[in-house]
Amino acid sequence: RLPASLADNNIWAMLRDRSGMVWVGNNRGLSYHATRQNAVFSLFGVAGRKDGLSESDVQAIVPAADGRVWMVLGSKTLAVMDPASGKIDYPPRKDVPIFALAPGPGGSVLIGAESSLYRASGNGLEMREIPVPPPGKTLSQSLPLKSLENLFDGAGVMLADDKIIWLGGGNGLWRIELGADGQIVDWRAEVAGKLSDHRVTVIERAADGRLWVGTEFGLNLVNPQTHTVERIMPNRIDPTALPYGQ
């Protein structure tokens, strides 16, 4: 643990935990801003170091209900850190690349992998698969994707509540509905063709229930009830200005 500025300028993920501490995932590990000390500390990804990460890149961060911090590392594997002790654990591997994380119902953590979804306990000791239905077995439409790898396309984002999981990646925005037993009962492409770009990079929930969806070309405000999209495009003449028409 070293007091410094950020470990690297390439920022992949950010998280503010319940204590107000800001965690930053970057190309050289995990950094955090300690507000009381007004300083930035870094946990460098040095292989074999007992108090550090097993590798450098941290590409996704989510909080668990018990205060632990979950991370996706550069090799698409998982790490779980206890901020109080600094201890880092590595959940059992499923031998599939991990692309996305989201806080799940009941204190669980949802994991988007290459070919399926998983629900893990907050401490990482238990991990169960949420099978993806085969083509033609969902309520709304057939599945045009062979696996979640096609959806994530090498990177992915995920947002979840008790019944709905939103997935984003190289093939747009997708809505997954879970049944009372926690299994997938429906999934479909959301607002297909309406986003400013099909490459989704971030999903956040607005206060009114709509979704902010960031892409590689512009920002979108999606209404899941009406399936409408408000595009907020960059000003090509002056990128620092407000979008056209504002």
pLDDT digits (tens, 9 = 90+) for 166-200: 988 888 898 988 888 888 888 888 888 899 988 88
pTM: 0.74
What pLDDT does residue 144 have?
46
35-65 confidence digits (pLDDT tens): 677 777 766 554 445 556 767 788 888 888 8
What pLDDT does residue 122 have?
75
CB 105 within 8 A of CB 162: yes
CB 2 within 8 A of CB 46: no
Which pair of structure tokens corresponds to residue 215?
Answer: 């892409």
What pLDDT does residue 210 have?
94
Would the pLDDT of 239 be above 70? no
3-class secondary-structure state, position 106: helix
Beta partners for residue 101, in sequence order:
111
Which pair of structure tokens corresponds to residue 162?
Answer: 């008790």
What pLDDT does residue 235 have?
66
pLDDT above 90 covers what percent of the chain?
9
Listed as own residue / partner, the contacts of 163-169 with beta carbons closer than 8 Å and 24 or more positions apart are: 165/102, 165/110, 165/117, 166/190, 166/203, 166/211, 167/100, 167/112, 168/200, 168/201, 168/202, 168/203, 168/213, 169/99, 169/100, 169/199, 169/200
